[in-house]
Amino acid sequence: MSVTETSTERRNGVDVETLFATIGVVRDQPALARFQFRSSHEWVSGTHNRGTISGFYGAGQEHLHAAPTTIGADHPAVLVGADHGPTPAELLLNALGACLMSGLANIAAARGIDLKGVTATVEGDIDLRGILGIDPEVRNGYEGIRVVFHVDGAAEAEKLAALVSQSRDRSAVFDVVTNGTPVSVDVATA
């Protein structure tokens, strides 16, 4: 194979060579691993609001995504909203599912496993007496969240299952959702 062919070799859509090269560069220059992600929000009306994701810092410089993404959020009618979008609690489940899914193809590619298809469902149980302020003994957030994966690929079932557990063990969102992270909430005076 020519150099060009080698450098574009992909498995599961993953450029494995570049992935390993990137990890090697960051290992040698840990400052490149410092990232800052951001989201900006504007209130629309009632529980309806919009969040936009566009720029971030990482690998020593500012970046812009290829396109900004704006996500609307609202409460459904049963929760006295206008249902212009998912609830923020659903957006949290979406972030978790996306994170577990994103790592999986990289891990499979690194292990030489071809994936055919992967789906997952995320479910969270919540007692809204917390956020409605009805019972101080009830927490605001989810009591528990369940994620179930279906993985179809060219390996035995236990090797496919190991992809999911490795993705979980390297997931930023899974870590935050299970272990918590300090969050400051302030109001600008201007």
Asked if 159 interacts with its own copies (CB under 8 A), we say no
Q: In the range 126-155, which residues lie near its own copies by CB under 8 A?
A: 126-135, 138-151
Residues 6+ apart with CB under 8 A from 74: 46, 47, 48, 49, 81, 82, 83, 84, 85, 86, 87
Cα(146)–Cα(71) distance, rounded to whole angstroms?
24
The CA-based angle 118-120-126, given to 5 degrees, is 170
Closest distance to its own copies from the beta carbon of 32 (Å): 8
Which residues 19-48 are close enough to bind its own copies by CB under 8 A?
19, 22-23, 26-27, 30, 33-48
> Which of 2/133 has CB closer to its own copies?
133
State which of positions 86-105 bind its own copies (CB under 8 A): 86-105
Q: Is 113 in the site for its own copies (CB under 8 A)?
A: no
How big is the site for its own copies, counted in residues (CB under 8 A)?
134
Distances (CA, A) of 184 to 142, 181, 187, 188: 20, 10, 10, 12
Does 59 engage in binding with its own copies (CB under 8 A)? yes
